Amino acid sequence: MPAIGEPAPTFSLPDTDGVERQPGGAPATVVIFTCNHCPYALAWHERTVDIARDYASRGVRVLAINPNDSERYPRDSPEAMRERVQAGEFDGVPYLHDESQDVAHAYDAKTTPDVFVLDADAVLRYRGAPDGDYEDPSQNASYLRDALDAVLAGDAPALAETEPIGCSIKWKPDD
């Protein structure tokens, strides 16, 4: 995993329309590894989509990446991803498919969700959970918001790393 304060891995992945997306080009980029069927990812989903909406005016980009093996877990297929996007569940957040799982490996992502915040220079500034309790919507992705506020102010987040909580990423059998 890239250490806090070190450059984050770059990547180019297709969204549900086949458009290649890359991190960067923004004062801060949020990379969220997530999926369609994990209860933790679903419980936190609205809170993380809210981040994209609330920070859009400040130029923050949010990229959601599904790294799960869609052959063994058809609910994470590109078609199933597209259905969620078309249903409006991502509200403009690109939902990318990491078919090779190379990006998840490069980030050493562990769970869905697993959240990373990159600054304007694509340096990793935060990694972990969106907030402290998936069951409590009032927490409002506070870890992530605090990290973004710090990065946008040019500061290091006071809490730069938390334990990611969620379902394990569904790696391909050879892994």
Partner 1 sequence: MAELGLDPDTVEVHQIETDSEARREGFIGSPTIRIDGIDVSPTEGEPYGLNCRVYHRRDGRISPTPDPADLRDALSAAIKTRP
Restricted to residues 133-162, the positions that interact with partner 1 (CB under 8 A) are 135, 137
132 lies in the site for partner 1, by CB under 8 A: no
Name which of 4 and 80 has its Cβ closer to partner 1.
80
167 lies in the site for partner 1, by CB under 8 A: yes
Name which of 88 and 154 has its Cβ closer to partner 1.
88
- Which structure tokens are listed for 161? 């790393």
Q: Which range binds partner 1 by CB under 8 A, 73-81, 93-101, 116-124, 145-153?
A: 73-81
The single-letter code of the amino acid at 131 is D
Q: List the Cα angle 151/135/169 in 5-degree steps.
A: 70
Nearest alpha carbon to residue 66 among 29, 27, 93, 28? 93
Name which of 38 and 115 has its Cβ closer to partner 1.
38
Name which of 73 and 84 has its Cβ closer to partner 1.
73
Give the shortest CB-35-to-partner 1 separation in angstroms: 9
Using CB under 8 A, pick the residue from 13, 28, 38, 49 that binds partner 1: 38
- The pattern of x and - marking residues 41 through 60 that bind partner 1 according to CB under 8 A reads -xx-----------------
Site residues for partner 1 per CB under 8 A: 37-40, 42-43, 72-75, 135, 137, 167
